[in-house]
Chains A and B, each alone.
Chain A
Amino acid sequence: MAGAIIVFCFVGTSIAVYVSQLIGVRITPYNPLQENVGPVLGAPSLAHPFGTDILGRDVFSRIVYATPGDFAVGIVVIGCSFLVGAVIGSYAAFHGGLLDEALMRVTDIFFAIPALVLAMAIGLALGPGISNMTIALTIIWWPPYARLARGEALKIAHQNYIEAARLSGLGSLMVLFKHVIPNITITMLVYATLDVGTVILVYSGLSYLGLAVRPPLPDWGQMVSQYQDWMIAAPWLPLIPGLIIALGVIGFSLLGDGIRDALEVY
């Protein structure tokens, strides 16, 4: 339950920010980019709940405006990995042989490099930016989904309804898309929900390393790395965005656990 509420809050904020940017209204008390709206390194107060940074910008507004970016990356990376993984994994499971072996070995290679390090290297090749990071993360993220899809597809490969579909003359691709993939979706969906948080965590790391959003545009990870220089004078500055990231990740983790318990897939 708690997970659903947290995720709902974050998703709601994302949509609100997105819509408000479309129609040109500001939903936060201050403009996230405007300087000197408060004191320099001001402590949290009623006017500025998360304080103000070295340029006098309102930290609360900056955090709110950074929400859609982080969530969009999480959802897009998981969505793409899910689709690619489901198709490749179940196809490999049904056709076996060389393709299957090749898939397993390729995924082995991806498992050997930490996602963040590979994303960093790919990010250097593509250049920094939120869309390039999304591409880099998707390149790395699909192998576990392919493995999961393969395992699940192997489990149902000899069920009667698959045999029946085959005997009724459906082509192998049709069997795959109409019968296999829909039936492995639930298990993969639970895994995917748990995984959105992990993507947000890794993305926040890339953002901390300065590979995602360019300042002055706000982003949680990047805010932590900028604000850590003032951790003596204003310790709340780097801690609050870090806490928000953790909260988002916890939300998805709890939501995934909840869905899993409700469906009892494992």
Chain B
Amino acid sequence: MNIVQYVLRRIFLAIFVLLGVVAITFILSHSLGGDPVVAWLGRTAGSHPQLVEAYRIKYHLMDPLWVQFYYYITNLLQGNLGLSPSRGFMPVSMVIQETLPLTIQIASFAIVLTLVLGILLGVLSAKYHHKLTDRSIRSFYLAGISSPPFFIAILLLIVFTLWLHLFPNGSAADPSLAQPHPITWIPMLDSLIELNFPYFLSSVEHTILPSLALALGTFGVIVRVLRSSMLEVMHSNYIRTARAKGLDEQTVFFKHGLRNAMISVVTLASLVVTWMMTGTIFVENIFAYPGIGQYVFQALAAQDYPGILATTLVFALIIVLANLVADVLYAVVDPQIRLG
């Protein structure tokens, strides 16, 4: 199987998974409040009879289920995700357009932090395994992955914002600064393109604590997997060969050991992304950061069904894409997969 076939097969599977997710949200939308209109308009639907009537016609709710499913999918493809009662009946797609880029900001910072912490501590842990360094790293990451994200976030907020006054709290950047124009839709990048440095610095400042809270809960999975795969790799024959050639231990460890052990880290991509997306719901709420996680939290509190169903789809889409990227990367770094 060559790489193109492999990638095509992965894309086909990804589309299939997305269809499955859509089917699940479709089923849920028909079981929420007993009426799909409620799922499109929220619990307050009953107080807007003309809207309800319009929706019944628009979404063909009198037709058989499979016809409705067809219209459900066409609507999703056109970006019509319903109206969000928790945001004054604003279209959900617009809410997502506003909030998702902010979450991408903290999530990308968090992913970088997770990788740096995870790889660094994983390598240290493997190099000094069963020594004090290894044991203290193990306690540190165990505490991290075992703590609920809201606990880590509150701890960081109390220590760094309330006690030490090192970081600001609330919103994605200082609201008194001029907003950059949407070019890439990601404010941090836009401000950099427009050379709006005060806004850029402020948004970085507002990003550090939330992304640290996300990273502290996630880096442990990378340490755990990297450590054990590193220990396994270091016992393999090609490491013995490398040592027998007379290579120094440093080269053997990093060039031959780490490079091969890193392959197993790629498989963690979907796990890491899933944890991050889940974490944003709590972390953004605690830091009052107006991303998609905070939207989920508010939608849940207001029983905003369209918001919940749409964000479920967005989260699934992000995870499926992350998986796809990881699968392709995996094939690139490990020839056994693409040839095998």
Q: Which residues of A contact B (CB under 8 A)?
A: 105-106, 108-109, 111-118, 120-122, 124-125, 197, 201, 204-205, 208-211, 221, 224-225, 228, 231-232, 235, 238-239, 242-243, 245-246, 249-250, 253-254
Which residues from B are CB-within-8-Å of A121? Answer: 25, 28, 308-309, 312
Stretch at the interface among B71-79, B92-100, B106-114, B154-162: B154-162
Stretch at the interface among B128-136, B233-241, B314-322, B331-339: B314-322
Cβ-defined contact, A117 with B158, below 8 A: no
The answer to whether B46 has its CB under 8 Å from any CB of chain A is no
Which residues from B are CB-within-8-Å of A113? Answer: 21, 24, 312, 315-316, 319
- With contacts A112-B323, A114-B274, A239-B154 taken as known, whether A208 is within 8 angstroms of B20 at the C-beta atoms is no
Give the contacting residue for A108; candidates B17, B297, B315; CB below 8 A. B17
Q: Which residues of B contact A (CB under 8 A)?
A: 13, 16-18, 20-21, 24-25, 28, 31-32, 142-143, 145-151, 154-155, 157-158, 162, 270, 274, 277-278, 281-282, 286, 296-297, 300-301, 303, 305, 308-309, 311-312, 315-316, 319-320, 323
- With contacts A231-B162, A232-B162, A250-B142 taken as known, whether A225 is within 8 angstroms of B25 at the C-beta atoms is no
Give the contacting residue for B147; candidates A108, A115, A125, A246; CB below 8 A. A246
Cβ-defined contact, A118 with B300, below 8 A: no
Which residues from B are CB-within-8-Å of A238? Answer: 151, 154
Give the contacting residue for B148; candidates A106, A108, A112, A242; CB below 8 A. A242
Cβ-defined contact, B20 with A106, below 8 A: yes
Chain A residue, CB-CB nearest to B23? A109
**How far apart sit A254 and B143, CA to CA, in the bound complex (Å)?**
11
Cβ-defined contact, B32 with A239, below 8 A: no
Query: What is the number of contacts between chain A and chain B, taking CB atoms within 8 Å?
Result: 129
Cβ-defined contact, B308 with A124, below 8 A: yes
Chain B residue, CB-CB nearest to A111? B270
Q: What are 5 contact pairs spanning A and B, CB under 8 A? A: A105-B16, A111-B270, A118-B24, A125-B28, A235-B158
Cβ-defined contact, B31 with A125, below 8 A: yes
Which residues from B are CB-within-8-Å of A106? Answer: 20
Which residues from A are CB-within-8-Å of B32? Answer: 124-125
Give the contacting residue for B150; candidates A109, A210, A224; CB below 8 A. A224
Cβ-defined contact, A197 with B20, below 8 A: no
How many whole Å from B225's CB to the nearest CB in chain A?
13
Give the contacting residue for B146; candidates A112, A201, A210; CB below 8 A. A201
Cβ-defined contact, A242 with B17, below 8 A: no
Cβ-defined contact, A122 with B28, below 8 A: yes
Which residues from A are CB-within-8-Å of B31? Answer: 125
Give the contacting residue for B151; candidates A210, A246, A250; CB below 8 A. A246
- With contacts A205-B149, A210-B301 taken as known, whether A253 is within 8 angstroms of B142 at the C-beta atoms is yes
Give the contacting residue for A221; candidates B16, B148, B157; CB below 8 A. B148
**How far apart sit A41 and B270, CA to CA, in the bound complex (Å)?**
42
| Residue among B151, B281, B320, B323 with max Cβ neighbours from chain A (10 Å) | B151
